[in-house]
Structure 1
Amino acid sequence: MELPRWELLAVSEELDEAELAALKFLSREHVPRRRLEAARSAHDLFEALQERGALEAGNLAFLRELLYRIGRIDLLAAHLGSSREQVERELQVARPGGARVPPYRYLLFQLSEDITKDELMSFKLLLDGELPKSKLTPETTMLDIFIEMEKKGLLGKDNLSVLKSLCEKINISLWNRIEDGLNLFGQEEMLITEEERGSTGGPEGYLALSVTPEFPGSCNISSQLEAYKMTSRPCGVCLILNNHNFAKAREAVLEHKYLRDRNGTDVDAAALRNVFSKLHFRIEEYRDLTADEIRKTVNIFRCEDHEDKDCFVCCILSHGKKGIIYGVDGQEVPIRELTTSFTVQNCRSLAGKPKVFFIQACQGNAFHKGVTIEADTAEEDASVERGVRFQRDCIPAEADFLLGMATLQDYVSYRSPREGTWYIQALCQHLESRCPRGENVVSILTAVNREVSRKTGERNAEKQMPQPILTLKKKLIFPVN
């Protein structure tokens, strides 16, 4: 397929500054450094790739891969007449004459996507003296740091000792992820022979991926699994039950006199609305429901005909305790009662389709006092919500359910009145950034676990670990196009 010049320009105009930086980073083995630095737009970069023979008439494999790597699946369909599945098939086998992103560079790119702001700041502090101060400004990104480290000889495909040392000082899990990714690539790559390199002009030492992992460290067996059908538009309903005002509970139940309003929950609700709208779900939000109203609302959607939909999502934002969520009147609703409403026996039109529940609610008693962090529990002035082990009887004993809980036994879960909860915010951010790459939702929840577990409370002691429980039998991938 030959891409007209105007179409190439149209693709470039769809890409923002951060995406251009990502494309340039992923292309460093294929374009000279100075030529890359001179590229001020994606169109400049495409021209440089054409000059080097990486993009040419009839061979757009590298352009397709680049767009796939940065998650712009929409551009594949709109301008290249391609799809995520086509690119993944191309990446499963080394294709003679096709330029590819080396695994080492793709691994660094994925790592840069997941590093937190605090971790980025730590990298800058530790590299002060090793890199020029002009390259360690507030605007410097993690990709910028990797590039400068490569220029200084501090980083390379066979030179990871400095990066390892930095990761061990900042967060050992960063290095564990790199090591896991390298091991995974080592198991799944095959070297292109010297003869093939000579005939194709591929970069020296290039490794062709035999399988594209969802992210380094993930189990690639999942790539062989069938995926749930997610082609209906809308995909299904995203039901948001958002409880904020608990005045009724404080007035009606003496033991709940300290059950405070859940300030910050609207930030979570807005984030959920935003991301699931982009994922083609019909948003239905209900606010400040009593226990009885929660039951009635869930029953409405249980009885709805989902025959022409592919999925159902329910997000619950409330106070709670072990296996329970509270209505705003302080009355209890068992989580299992809600999930069981959507079993095959109770909702036949969702048979064989994924039923997804995200629960942001305390599952135990809170502790510590604070000002800016509050709890989803009934303790006076509590600053955190303490979770207990998720009870497996909260999820029906049948296939196609996924339940994501914010808390795990002996860990704490935070809600900020200004920024929302750690769990829901991390969940929405990772869904928004990773779904365009075609990642499995289970892999995304693993990344959410990793991010949330890295955080600490105000006293640098409080921790939180979410827990997904599932009976899915296929890959669950939320489409963006």
Structure 2
Amino acid sequence: MESDAERVAFGDDLFKVIEGMTKLETEQLKFLCFGHIPVGTIEQMDITDLLQSLKERRIISADKYDFLIECLILIGRNDIAHQLGCDTDDMHALDSSLQKYKSFAGLESFIILLHTVADNMEEKEVKKIVVYFSETAYISRGKLKMCHNGFQLLSLLLKVRHIHANNLKTLLDLVQVLNRKDLEEKIKLYQDINSSSDESYKPTSYVPEENKNKSDDDDDDDDNSDKNADNGERNLQHYKMTAKPRGICLIFNNVHFMTENLKDRIGSDVDKDELVKVFTNFHFEIIEYRDLTKTEMRAKLGEVSSMDHREYDCFVCCILSHGTEGIVYGVDGEPLPYTNITSPFQPSKCKSLTGKPKLYFIQACQGLAYQSGEEDIEFDGLSMSVPTSIPNEADFLMAYATVSGYVSFRSKRNGSWFIQNLCKVFRDCSKKYDLSDMLLMVNNSVSKEDGLMGNQIYKQIPAPLSTLRKKVFF
């Protein structure tokens, strides 16, 4: 734990940064942090929030400013870097390394490249690119028109996954439209330096024996499973899961409600934190939102579904909120049907996720508190039930915390039974078992939990419903 003196010193150092930053420099600093803080989260931050978040994530501390110093050098604020303890010789050495996209403090090389491109774009060039992308189906014209500098433009393109580290074609097209040979050379230098790291990550530990020595194309050929049938049983294929990042993991965490009949969901942050850890470890890009109304939730679902998911292998959505039959609630107490949650990602509306697994993990609750006995336990839905049908389109999985007519439980200290057991099983078993097997383990683990009300013991069983056609290995 920090001493009072350390907190004062740390605050003074951060004040030096805050005091000296212009609006554009703040945009640049936020841009450089995209590899460490989700894009959707960082957009809403001011400079104070940003630095506090970096501290909470232990990226910077009272005796650790190397990440911040590298950022300051990139945006040309050597004076502030000097105030934080970096001498001239170190600055020259760091600047030389950063020009070669090499960071000693954890800055992502791709973000350094994008910063270089954005920093060298003039306003008229940004306008030219806005016109160039205005016909793109995956990008809102209104949002494009709000981009007035290179950082705003590339931030938007990053957010909708129109540019990414695994494929530099769009970025090369962008600089070629501008006829910027200098920027094209910088991109090619990045490619040369990072050529070995651009190869797709292909874990082998989870590949079933019957699928070894097969190409990725074989995985997508359903007819092959008939040819490989053994004793009349089909050998199940598995979805491709090698992209980095694997895909978007969208998390809605509704804790504080505006209506009297829906209590605050104390303990939900514990669930959210575990989900972030697990899916970050699975190489997903996390986008998290807290305390959204029904309208806001629908809008965010629409935004994510309109992204370009072509380079992704999967989509995950986690919803932590109150709920009742077939719905979850926004913090305004308005109901959001499950159909409104899944429909934006159906093939007709999100073509870039066609044929890819779309996984939903829903901890929905009604918020009826457990009054007598251990006050740490609350009910998450006394008459909670789920639809009797699953999405018409294939490749969906809906994993609900409970079945029709039964409560689900959440601990104020330890989080919900469903999410906590889900995360534990995923952490312990993902290298050996597929998603279907792990959800059976979650069912078994949750079924062993006990909820006490007076002298009566209450139980819970989750309800996964699936139209998946293949196995999912994280």
TM-score by length of 2: 0.50
Indicate the structure whose relative CO is greater, using CA pairs within 8 Å and at least 6 residues apart. Answer: 1
Give the TM-score normalised by structure 1: 0.49
